[in-house]
Structure 1
Amino acid sequence: MIDVCLLGTGGMMPLPNRYLTALMVRYNGKSFLIDCGEGTQIALKKSGWSPKPIDMICFTHYHADHISGLPGMLLTMGNAERTEPLLVVGPKGLERVVKALRTIAPELPFPIEYHEINSDSDQIIIPDMPEFKINAFKVNHNITCYGYSMQLDRIGKFNVEAAKANNIEQKYWNPLQKGEIIHTEDGRIFTPDMVLGEARKGIHLTYVTDTRPTDSIIKYAENSDLFICEGMYGEPEKLQKAKENKHMTMYEAAELAKKANVKEMWLTHYSPSLVNPKEYLPKVKDIFSKSIAAKDGRNITLKFEDE
């Protein structure tokens, strides 16, 4: 299962009751933060989640409302006596941008490692966690910007009868279930496909903000269990403004959710002028019925279908 918390839903500037867009994801004892705008620390505190176990921070792009909270976050993590490395991920120029922000946070008790994205798509590998994949994909903003898609694969069920039929001793069952290939002392070779059924449906989460609609979003969000997407403007007459500033309206986000056949969509990254996002939700639901105008702190635990 994957725990998801949308820490903030604001765009451009934080408001008293709306922090800037940031997403926290937890899986198997590890935590991943996407974007870190001003106020993210407070939003994290209000959510009840801790900054100490953050293993990776991914940035969609380098506008201030998505990264200006990083120096304070790093200092807080350091004050929590963190010593393990922190991996940061983002578009070209990542190390230069982070080091510039660290001018006010120069001394940290932990090293920072960098994964710079230099192509239209990239996959971030998590050590010791091959079943959890993070894919970055380019979207269409006025500077280089990426969306992120997280997928938790699920292997097939263990087939006891197949294991017995292949004369595989029980001591090898667990390693095979974990994907290991077994070489026995007497020269036999056992592979996972000998004891596992067909792969089962996993969990799929996609996060997109600061972009016009693109085919890449539909591709990477396809069949997502949860699609978190920018809905900066609710007023239909602001479509032209959305086009000029390379943002999206709620209705465009709903069209993407419909085309990608997602299970549920949370809208986020609202314009400061958008006082009550729910006001526009009925027309959004006419396009995609499983749309939610998310508020700060909205969270969910995504589980496998049969759990």
Structure 2
Amino acid sequence: MIDICLLGTGGNMPMPYRFLASSIISYLGRKILIDAGEGTQVAMRILGRGFKSLDVICITHCHGDHIIGLTGLLSTIGNSGRLDPITIIGPEGIKKVVEGLNVINPYLPYQLNIIENPSMDIFMKVDKNGIIICENEKDSNIVISTMKLEHSSHCIGYSFYYKRNPKFNVEKATNNNVPKVIWNRLQKGETIELEDRIYTPNLVLGEERNGIKISYITDTRPIKEAKKFIENSNLFICEGTYGNDDDIEKAIKNKHMTFREAATLAKESSVDRLVLTHFSPAMTNPEEYAKNCLEVHENSIIGNDGMIISLNFQE
């Protein structure tokens, strides 16, 4: 099971009743954070999301409401006893911004691996000990994809595909004369050399199974390229800066989206579930405009701080 927690759902500035938009994806006890605006670590503490098991931080863009909380967060992670490296992924310019913010963090006890403006998919493997980068897709169980968005600064959207191992096939393992003592390790994806023979997972596993796709897009207009990028997502978390349809001109000018535009993008991309976030500070009650997205995409949810969405792998 994969848990997605909305730490905050606000845009532009933190409010007394709403933290800035950020989310944590948790799987096998390890975490990926999306954006780190002011107050993100406070929201994490309130919601009981641990710091030491945070392995990857994905930044959409370098506007303050999405990154200004990174410095304090990295310091707190250091104080949690973490020594393993952390991977930061972000758009063009992310290295310079992180270096600038970290002037006051000169002695972090762990290494930062920064991936700037990735031009290809990033393959990662997660287990109970952490998330590491893989050289190829075969060894990975998470694939992170990015795409360029349309905003007033360099901005990227994210797609996270959590792969699922095929079922163990006893008949196949038996027919291939695989010793039972290594069945469990092969099922977990290991390649094993035993008695001068190399055993690979494909000797014991059945057909591929569908994984879980989570897409995250914020601070952008609903560009056509996004449709293919988020297509068939099990969960699509999208900005809905403006709930009122009458604010469409404001959305175009500021390069954001209305609820209706986000819902249209979700419907045209055949996503299962849409969750809206990144609400304008002027919109104190986003639920008031829920009909504007529900009329277009019935499986739409107005996000709120602390909301948890759980996704299970399907047979």
Same fold (TM over 0.5): yes
8 Å Cα contact 2:11-2:241 kept in structure 1: yes
Q: Give the residue type in structure 2 aligned to 1:139.
A: L
The structural deviation recorded for 1:263 is 1.4
Instruction: Write the distance in 2 (CA, Å) between the matches of 1:177 and 1:82.
Output: 30
8 Å Cα contact 2:235-2:271 kept in structure 1: yes
Out of 252, 272, 276, the position equivalent to 1:267 is 276
The structural deviation recorded for 1:27 is 1.4
- Alignment match, 1:56: 56
Instruction: Write the distance in 1 (CA, Å) between the matches of 2:200 and 2:9.
Output: 46
In the alignment, does 2:201 pair up with 1:192?
yes
In the alignment, does 2:167 pair up with 1:162?
no
Out of 250, 255, 261, the position equivalent to 1:246 is 255
Which contiguous aligned blocks of 4+ residues in structure 1 show a shift greater than 6 angstroms? none
The structural deviation recorded for 1:191 is 4.0
- Alignment match, 2:225: 216
Describe the superposition over 1:105-135 as per-residue Cα deviations: whole angstroms up to 9, x where unpaired: 333222222111253x542534277111111
The structural deviation recorded for 1:179 is 3.2
8 Å Cα contact 1:155-1:198 kept in structure 2: no
> Cα–Cα, structure 1 residues 173 and 232, in superposed 2: closer, same or farther, change >3 Å?
same
Instruction: Write the distance in 2 (CA, Å) between the matches of 1:234 and 1:142.
Output: 21
In the alignment, does 2:309 pair up with 1:300?
yes
* RMSD (Å), alpha carbons: 1.9
- Alignment match, 1:91: 91
More off after superposition, 222-231 vs 45-54: 45-54
In the alignment, does 2:236 pair up with 1:227?
yes
Unaligned runs of 5+ in 1: none
In the alignment, does 2:266 pair up with 1:257?
yes
1:113-192 equivalent positions in 2, closer than 5 A:
113-119=113-119, 121-126=120-125, 127=132, 130-182=140-192, 184-185=194-195, 190-192=199-201
In the alignment, does 2:287 pair up with 1:283?
no
Instruction: Write the distance in 2 (CA, Å) between the matches of 1:175 and 1:31.
Output: 24
8 Å Cα contact 2:31-2:56 kept in structure 1: yes
Describe the superposition over 1:60-81 as per-residue Cα deviations: whole angstroms up to 9, x where unpaired: 0000000001111122112223
TM-score computed with the length of structure 2 as normaliser = 0.90
In the alignment, does 2:101 pair up with 1:101?
yes
Instruction: Write the distance in 2 (CA, Å) between the matches of 1:196 and 1:210.
Output: 42
Instruction: Write the distance in 1 (CA, Å) between the matches of 2:265 and 2:306.
Output: 24
